[in-house]
């Protein structure tokens, strides 16, 4: 909350409330929040852990607060970026004008594991590829916001955004009567409506929406079931679905019912064993044929992962300008593509100062944070980089902004990022005011991912 000149303006009213609170009461409330999350079942699984234990994501009770002015700039930048990503995906799967123009190298698409030839010369209903987008944003100064990465495949975390707010409302109802905060609770209703707006032309009547989950062993299963419940739609697994008369239908007590829109949380490779991985037990045999026939909407569209690629990310300012005719409102972090010899040499020479990431990596896995790494870790990563340079990009270690967290000793600064969620349909882009703030709970750490020990906090966007 504090700067060198005092409390930041968006925090002033909260700070006045906070200093008047009894610290023991706040500590007790922090324990209540953990008990609430545990009783609600808000957990996640960590891949690669031998005990396969479900964990709670730590919750910090001090909200992150943004002014309406800050949010106006952020949301305008997200809207612009999301529109550009959707246009980019439509282009590379159809006319490929950005490749013809030489703005994005052809090999970045042709050799990209996330690019699906099966999507070529096909446009999904409403020309929407990215129905739900999570944009990871970091701040380095008062008005300096950078996009760290784009999540256009199956962005997760929105359930924590909603439950964090619900928890704060239960614990501190008086706060929300004193400080006017924009609502996030409309997200499930807006998500269902946005998906329904993307129904295929073959749909008759009210669109039937369902969520496809890989099952209870998936790390985000809580979110899948939570969203299905909040939206009032069915949560289905692959074995619940089949092709019936050229449509995808789900098994019910009254027989099979046609699904118009499938919000899938299953990766591309497992979506259709007849088209992709033949060993997959998670998807639906024949769903790609139904999709290409125009009889179902899959959200997000197969093949959107190419827009998540961190090498493609490095071209986002050019991509935004190519499709919107505007300069990018939100900045990119300077990015070195290790596939390029000069960049690789620079990265190898400066590993101790850089953050190196896999181009298709997520969750904080497979990355090197140079300043926090040991000499042994750097040496081992150097060999990985030499063996597969095209698998990595590198970025400078940003001086990330901090926000306060509540500790036993009082407030302490920690680094954060922000993942706002955008819904895209033919009706436009709808961005929920706020998003998921992830916080690096370890002092000095820059890694905010829950799988790496990070926590979350409620994100407030103030009303005017």
Same-domain status, 347 and 437: no
- Which band of pLDDT confidence, cut at 50, 70 and 90, is reported for residue 35? confident
Q: Is the pLDDT of residue 62 over 80?
A: yes
**Residue 218 shares a structural domain with residue 179:** yes
What confidence category does residue 452 fall into, taking pLDDT thresholds of 50, 70 and 90? low
Residue burial 146-162, b: 16+ Cβ < 10 Å; e: rest? bbbbbbbbbbbbbbbbb
pLDDT at 352: 92
Shared-domain flag, residues 375 and 408: no
DSSP E strands, 58-179:
59-66, 132-141, 144-151
Please check whether residues 380 and 407 belong to one and the same domain.
Answer: no
Q: Are residues 388 and 271 in the same domain?
A: no
The answer to whether residues 295 and 426 belong to one domain is yes
Confidence class for position 48, pLDDT limits 50, 70, 90: very low
Do 383 and 453 have their domain in common?
Answer: no
Q: Is the pLDDT of residue 45 over 60?
A: no
Domain boundary among 361, 378, 396: 396
Of 346, 365, 396, the residue that ends a domain is 396
Question: Once rounded to an integer, what is the mean pLDDT over residues 231-237?
Answer: 98
Last residue of a domain, one of 372, 396, 420: 396
Three-state secondary structure along 134-145? EEEEEEEECCEE
Q: Looking at residue 119, what is its pLDDT?
A: 97
Q: Are residues 387 and 429 in the same domain?
A: no
Residues 193 and 68 in one domain: yes
Q: How many CA atoms lie within 13 A of 111 on its CB side?
A: 10
Q: What is the DSSP string of 239-300?
A: GGEEEETTEEEEEETTEEEE-SEEEE-S-GGGT-TTTS-TT-SSS-TTHHHHHHTTS-EEES
* The residue to which tokens 């969620």 are assigned: 421
Q: Which of 224, 221, 219 is nearest to 364 (CA)?
A: 219
Please report the pLDDT score of residue 28 as a whole number. 92
Residue with tokens 């550009």: 84
Q: Output the pTM of the full model.
A: 0.91
pLDDT band at 2 (very low <50, low <70, confident <90, very high): low
**Residues 326 and 342 both lie in one domain:** no
At 346, which CATH number?
3.30.1490.270
Distance between CA atoms of residues 298 and 125, nearest Å: 9
Least confident of 232-246, 374-388, 391-405: 391-405
Mean pLDDT (whole number) for 95-104: 97
Task: Print the domain residue range for 92.
Answer: 2-333+398-461
Q: For 126-182, write each residue's pLDDT tens digit.
A: 999 999 999 999 998 888 899 999 999 989 999 999 999 999 999 999 999 999 999
Domain count, the chain: 2
**Do 235 and 367 fall within a single domain?**
no
């Amino acid at each position: 909350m504090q700067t060198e000149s005092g409390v930041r303006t968006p925090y002033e009213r909260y700070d006045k409330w906070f200093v008047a609170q009894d610290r023991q009461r706040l500590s007790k409330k922090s324990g209540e929040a953990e008990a609430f999350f545990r009783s609600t079942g808000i957990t996640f699984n960590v891949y690669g852990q031998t005990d396969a234990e479900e964990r709670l994501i730590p919750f910090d009770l001090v909200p992150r607060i943004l002014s309406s002015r800050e949010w106006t700039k952020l949301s305008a930048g997200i809207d612009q970026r999301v529109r550009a990503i959707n246009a980019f995906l439509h282009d590379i799967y159809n006319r490929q004008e950005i490749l013809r123009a030489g703005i994005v190298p052809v090999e970045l698409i042709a050799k990209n594991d996330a690019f699906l030839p099966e999507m070529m010369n096909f446009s999904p209903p409403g020309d929407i590829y990215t129905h739900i987008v999570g944009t990871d944003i970091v701040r380095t100064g008062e008005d300096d916001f950078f996009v760290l990465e784009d999540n256009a495949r199956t962005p997760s975390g929105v359930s924590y955004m909603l439950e964090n707010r619900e928890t704060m409302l239960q614990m501190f109802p008086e706060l929300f009567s004193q400080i006017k905060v924009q609502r996030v609770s409309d997200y499930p209703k807006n998500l269902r409506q946005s998906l329904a707006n993307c129904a295929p032309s073959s749909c008759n009547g009210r669109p039937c929406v369902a969520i496809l989950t890989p099952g209870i062993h998936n790390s985000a299963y809580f979110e899948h079931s939570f969203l299905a419940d909040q939206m009032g739609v069915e949560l289905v697994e692959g074995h619940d679905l089949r092709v019936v008369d050229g449509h995808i239908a789900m098994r019910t007590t009254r027989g099979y019912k046609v699904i118009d829109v499938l919000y899938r949380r299953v990766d591309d490779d497992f979506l259709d064993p007849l088209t992709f991985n033949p060993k997959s037990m998670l998807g639906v045999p024949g769903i790609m044929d139904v999709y290409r026939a125009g009889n179902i909407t899959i959200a997000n569209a197969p093949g959107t992962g190419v827009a998540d690629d961190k090498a493609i990310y490095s071209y986002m300012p050019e991509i935004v300008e190519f499709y919107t005719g505007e300069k990018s409102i939100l900045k990119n972090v300077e990015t070195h593509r290790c596939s390029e010899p000069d960049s690789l040499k620079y990265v190898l020479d400066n590993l101790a100062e850089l953050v190196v990431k896999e181009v298709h990596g997520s969750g904080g896995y497979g990355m090197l944070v140079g300043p926090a790494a040991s000499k042994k870790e750097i040496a081992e990563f150097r060999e990985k980089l030499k063996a597969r340079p095209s698998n990595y990009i590198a970025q400078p270690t940003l001086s990330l902004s901090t926000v306060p967290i509540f500790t036993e000793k009082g407030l302490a600064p920690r680094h954060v990022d922000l993942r706002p969620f955008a819904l895209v349909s033919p009706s436009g882009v709808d961005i929920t005011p706020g998003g998921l703030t992830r916080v690096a709970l370890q002092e000095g750490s820059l890694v905010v991912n829950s799988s790496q020990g990070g926590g979350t906090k409620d994100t407030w966007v103030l009303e005017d």
